Structures are given as structure tokens and as C-alpha cells.
Amino acid sequence: SVPLSFFGGIGGASKNGILVKGGNYLEVLANAETVVFDKTGTLTRGVFNVTAIHPDTCSEAQLLEVAALAENYSDHPISRSLKEAYGAQIDPARVTDVEELSGRGVRVKVDGRLVCVGNDKLMDEIGVKWHPCHRVGTTVHVALDGAYAGHIVISDEVKPDAAAAIQALKAEGVRKTVMLTGDAKAVGEGVAKELGLDEVYTQLLPADKVEQVERLLAQKSAKGKLAFVGDGINDAPVLSRADIGIAMGAMGSDAAIEAADVVLMDDQPSKIAEAIRIARKTLRIVR
Ligand code: ADP
Ligand code: MG
């Protein structure tokens, strides 16, 4: 039978904005050995600032407009940020044939013209030669009717509590902290170094993230558990593959909240170590 302290533990966690979807997850949390993070919206704010606009075939304003229109239907943090930078109302009738390509970008029609907005992988996939960008940040390429139109450089910031969150996990005895990201190598490795993560893997598609989680599951000890923490945009498969899936509840997607076992209501990564602490206290596990 389930000891009463389980419910006390879940209640104590929820007072701190940590929703645990069942008593057995306390046991998993208490034995967390590997903690794997998504980057955008999880360790970083997920709010990008446009730092440069490099058009090839049009004006800066036109490049930003076509990118923002193409992103009209996407909920990805990059999409939200480009629309914010554009600032003007978008007539949805101008945007048709919308395809969201997870881990790569979007492919749509704007005023009947084919527009692709996304990363190097997407450009390679559609056979468009892109220009390498030497600036620090995430490069968003734009292709118009199959021709390169230019790129926009955007940058995100790590969350204020992210570095302390990683330190707190180590203090709780978590052996390995890992970041998996679809973003570029330079960006991912920069964030990982800044936060003191043990391992980082970049340029991953959602399926590659599942593969990495499976590899990490095979590496850990038999008793130790693996937690995956994500904001949800295309994270549902990894959230359910991990021993325990933790989702950011405020900015995160409904699909992630659904797929997750634990939801952090205020999106603060420092709540993970706190959840582990509460779980151990509840189960009276002393390390
Ligand atoms: P992360 O792993 O950091 O959470 P995602 O898997 O959501 O990132 O996306 C990986 C990469 O795919 C982004 O860094 C970006 O280059 C590209 N991308 C994804 N969605 C979009 C979009 N809507 N618009 C432009 N680029 C996108
Ligand atoms: Mg993501």
C-alpha cells in the first residue's frame, strides 16, 4: 500500500509549484542519477533577440517581413521572437500550405510564393546553398522560391537560475548532467560551458534526441534513474522515453504537459533539485 507520506510529499511539492502526477514518481526522482535537458525554453529563456539581418536579394525589412509571415502559425520560441521583432499585424490569408518541420523550421507559401525559414539542415534538405554566418547566435536562413534570400541572426539568454540549478543537482548527488539541442554546435557548446554541464550534443532532430536518451539509459547504473527536462515543443517523444519526464509548465506546450510526469509551473530549472530533495525527504532516503 502507498504510505501516507507519499501524499504529503506530493502536496509539499505542489506548494512549491512542482506538480507530480503520481506517488511512484517520487521514488524515481529520489534515485535520479542522470538529468538530461533540452536547451531552448528549458535552460535558456526561449526569448530571442534579433541581433543582425543579412539580406541577399531584398531589403532588411522585407527579409524580416517574409520570415515573420512564414512563422505565422508556429508556436516555436524562434517563431514567437521573429513575429515580435516584426511587430506588425499579419494577415493570415497571405500564409497558406503551412508545414512545420520539427528541429529544422517551417515551409509555407506567402502570397503564393514558397518560403522556407530555418536552419542549415533545412537549407541542405531543400538544396539551397546557404551562407555561413560568423556571428555568435542562432542563424535563421530564409529561402524564397527555392533561392537563398538571406539570414537573420538571433540570440537567447540562459535563465537566471540555470547555472545554480546545475550546481544544485550535483550537490544532490546527480552524477551526470547533459544537454540535447537542435541548435548549432557553437551555440549549444557555449551554453553548456557557461552552465557547467557534463555533456552536450547539438544539431539533433527529435528522433536523435530519443536515440541519445536511449544511449544514456544504457550507460547509467541499474538503480539510477534518468530524468529528461523539456519545454515541450517536439519533446513529447523524449519526455515519455525517460524514466521521468519533467516539463516546463508556463511556456511549455500542452503536448509536453500531457506527456510529462512532473510539471514545473514557473519554468525554473532550479526546481528540479528541489523536487529531488522533497522526494528523498518524503521517502526518508538519506544520501
Ligand atoms: P532545441 O533543441 O534547442 O529545443 P528545437 O529542436 O526546437 O531546439 O529546434 C532546433 C533548431 O531547429 C532550432 O535551433 C532552429 O535552428 C530550427 N527551428 C526549429 N523550429 C523553427 C522555426 N519555427 N523557425 C525557424 N527555425 C526553427
Ligand atoms: Mg525544444
Question: Bigger pLDDT: 50 or 282?
Answer: 50
246-258 mean pLDDT: 81
Rg, the chain, Cα only = 20
User: Cα–Cα distance between 287 and 285 in angstroms, integer?
Assistant: 7
Beta carbons within 8 Å of 23's beta carbon, 6+ residues apart:
2, 6, 7, 9, 10
Spell out the domains of the chain, with CATH numbers in brackets: 4-45+158-282 (3.40.50.1000), 49-155 (3.40.1110.10)
Question: Which ligand sits closest to the CA of 39?
Answer: 1
Beta carbons within 8 Å of 59's beta carbon, 6+ residues apart:
none
User: Cα–Cα distance between 26 and 4 in angstroms, integer?
Assistant: 13
230-244 mean pLDDT: 88
Residue 118 beta carbon below 6 angstroms from any ligand 1 atom:
yes
Residue 226 pairs in a beta bridge with: 34
Residue 39 beta carbon below 6 angstroms from any ligand 1 atom:
yes
In the chain, the percentage of residues whose pLDDT exceeds 70 is 95
Contact by Cβ (8 Å): 39, 158: no
pTM for this structure? 0.91
Please report which confidence band the pLDDT of residue 49 belongs to, taking 50, 70 and 90 as the band edges.
Answer: very high
The answer to whether residue 6 scores a pLDDT higher than 80 is: no
Residue 119 in grid coordinates: 536552419
Q: Give catalytic residue positions.
A: 38
The answer to whether residue 3 scores a pLDDT higher than 80 is: no
For 149-202, the pLDDT digits (tens) are: 999 999 999 999 999 999 999 999 999 999 999 999 999 999 999 999 999 999
Q: What is the pLDDT of residue 171?
A: 97
Give the mutation target among 104, 197, 212 for probing the ligand 1 site: most ligand atoms within 8 A of CB: 104
Beta carbons within 8 Å of 259's beta carbon, 6+ residues apart:
232, 235, 236, 239, 240, 245, 247
The answer to whether residue 113 scores a pLDDT higher than 90 is: yes
What is the b/e burial string over 101-137, where b = at least 16 CB atoms within 10 angstroms of the residue's CB? Answer: bebbbbbbbbeeebbbbbbbbbbeebebebeebeeeb
User: Cα–Cα distance between 10 and 234 in angstroms, integer?
Assistant: 27
Give the mutation target among 78, 139, 153, 179 for probing the ligand 1 site: most ligand atoms within 8 A of CB: 78
Residue 90 in grid coordinates: 499579419
**C-alpha dihedral sign at 281, 226, 163, 12:** negative
Ligand 2 midpoint to CA 80 (Å): 13
Residue 78 beta carbon below 6 angstroms from any ligand 1 atom:
yes
Query: Which atom number of ligand 1 is nearest to the Cα of residue 230?
Result: 4
Lowest-confidence pick of 29-33, 58-62, 133-137, 249-253: 249-253
